Structures are given as structure tokens and as C-alpha cells.
Amino acid sequence: MELLKDKAIIVTGASSGLGRSTAIAISKEGGRLILIGRDETRLSETKNMLEYSDNHIAIPFDLLEFEKYDQLFQRIKEENIILNGMVHCAGFTRILPIRALTTQNMNELLAIHYISFVNLVKFYSKKGMNAGGSIVGISAINAHIPQKCMTAYASAKAAMETACRTMSIELIEKNIRINSVVVGSMSTEMSKDVASSIEGVSSSYVNPVSRQLIPTVTADVISGSIMFLLSDLSSYMTGRELYADGGLL
Amino acid sequence: MNEKEKLEIIAESVEMETEELSKEMVLEDLENWDSVAVLTIIAAISDRLGRYPSAQDILAFRTVGDLMNYMD
């Protein structure tokens, strides 16, 4: 099956975790990838893991350099690529008690999860850049179920989700759909790092929600939900959230 | 970080005043030395020094002074 045959799709955060898994899944379905990530070495590792490796391009780029987005999209244009989709997987989490919140660390989380996403959408949706298509934001269950010490992360994800819903109205005029995947507990190198870093204080910060019906999965399983939203199978969906969280939380 | 800044971070994490703390005090004896305090210390060190200690690293220190030495 080639669900995304010849579709040109940007994946941010492509050098690891969910971004890497999603890129691999898209390549297996015939898509052409524009991989974006900070780490050049790991980004080319991802590229080498893709089906039809030569079909894709990797652009090392720091998404926090907002003034360079113009150049990034210019580069994509120079490759004669007309975009059909985009997934924003870049991001990180931080466990921050209220006492530890600072303007700086709150801004950092907002910048990567929300401001970079909206900027990406802005450039993606410019005339001549796209053939309509589907944009997917990656949200987190924390935006819906409160979790201790996650104020900054949860709020940044909630801002991104609200942006998806709101932007859907203007974007449909350009035949662009936009949805988010609400990811629950997921096992990646990053989540393992977080879990081991707080070992000894409390397990409740990692997974406070033990009522999930399906046990925690790896990133490649979450990629399935992203693929559905990227593909025409979800052509009647926009401005919505798709929960990939293992059920009742 | 100077001594005063280090002490302020620890005081903030356990909701005490800097004047109430001394280097000889045992962390575990402080009333509010709990998991949130440890996570607050980790966050402050990450923000200020760009290092990401684990909870185990922090829990290994015995006194306020031991923890201050780590914040260099």
C-alpha cells in the first residue's frame, strides 16, 4: 500500500524518537521527506534508514532561529518541492515544579512547541509553497489530564492544540487540513532519560495515569495515527484532535 | 554562581529564607526536603549551569554545603 505516494512532507524533530519513526513510516508509504533536525549526524542517520533514501532531503536547522525560517522554506522551494504535508515532532519536556518556573524556561517550552509550530504553518501555507495538504501537530495528554510539575509543558501543548483548531478555519480556504495527535504515554530514548533522571523521587511524575487500557507503546505505533491524519483517509477531518493514548485515562 | 546565589536556590527549593540555612545543615532534616524540592534544584541547575543532574545525584548529597559545592 502506498498511502502517501509522491507526497512531499516535512518532518521536524526527525533526528530521533517520534520524528524519526514517523519519517520511516512515511517513506514506506511512498512519501518524499524533508527532514528537519538540529543534529546533522543523527539527521543523516535517519535519512539512511528511509526507503528510497535518495528521494529525500535532510536540512540541519535549529527551529528556535525564527529569523531564518524564510531561508529554510526558500531552500525547500529551490529543490522544486511543492509541499503536501507537515508534522511537527520537534520538542522536549521538562519537569518543573511551580517553584522552579521562570520566564526563561516557560518561554523555551512555548517557543519549541507553540511559536515554532505556528511559524512553520505560516511559511507552509504561503502561496506557491503547497498543494493544499495536511498538517499535523503533536500534542500531549498532559494538555487534557493534569499532571504534577508539568505546568509549562502542558500549557505549551495546549497552546499548540488551540492554534490548530483556530488556524483550521483560515487554512481550509487553501485546501489545507490541520489536526493534532494527542499522545499519551510513549516510550522513547527521551522519555527513558526523563524517567531515569527522576528515579528515586517519585514514579508519579512519569505516568500518573494508570487507567490506560492499552500498555505503553513505542513511537512507531504513534506514527500510525500521524499517517492517518497526513493521508487522504482523514479527508473529512480538520481542526480536531486524535487521541493516541491507550484509551481511558 | 556565588555562595549567595547557591544558597538562594536551595532556600527557594525548600521554601525557607537564606538566613535560616547554614552549610552544616543536613538536607534530609529540612522540613520541606521532598521530591518537589529535589526537582526544583534540578531545574535551577539546568537553567543556570546547563547541566542535567539526576534525582539520584542530588539525593546523594548529605548537607547544604555538599550541595552548594556541586553547584560550581
How many domains would you assign to chain A?
A: 1
Complex confidence, ipTM: 0.86
Please answer yes or no on whether B39 and A196 come within 8 Å at the CB atom.
no
Asked if A227 contacts A165 with a C-beta cutoff of 8 angstroms, the reply is: no
Instruction: Give, for A106, the enclosing helix (H) or strand (E).
Output: helix A103-110
B50 touches chain A (CB under 8 A): no
B44 touches chain A (CB under 8 A): yes
- Distance between CA atoms of residues A85 and A125, nearest Å: 10
Asked if A9 contacts A87 with a C-beta cutoff of 8 angstroms, the reply is: yes
**Rounded mean pLDDT, A92-99:** 93
Q: Which CATH number fits domain B3-70: 2.60.120.650, 3.90.1530.10, 1.10.1200.10, 1.20.1250.20?
A: 1.10.1200.10
Residues of chain B with pLDDT under 70: none
* Helix pair A17-28, A219-230: axis angle to 10 deg: 50
Residue A98: burial class (beta carbons within 10 Å; 0-12, 13-18, 19+): exposed
Please answer yes or no on whether B35 and A201 come within 8 Å at the CB atom.
yes
Q: Whose CA is closest to A53, among A25, A32, A81? A: A32
B36 touches chain A (CB under 8 A): yes
| CATH number assigned to the domain comprising residue A145 | 3.40.50.720
Summarised one tens digit per residue, pLDDT across range A151-202 is 999 999 999 999 999 999 999 999 999 999 999 988 888 888 888 888 777 6
CB interface of A with B, residues 125-184, below 8 Å: 149
Our CA-based measurement puts residue B18 at a distance from the nearest CA of chain A, in whole angstroms, of 15
Residue A249, domain member (yes or no):
no
DSSP string for B27-60: GGGSTT-SHHHHHHHHHHHHHHH-----HHHHHT
Residue-number span of the structural domain to which A124 is assigned: 8-244
Percent of chain A at pLDDT above 70?
Answer: 96
What integer pLDDT is reported at residue A1 of this predicted model?
65
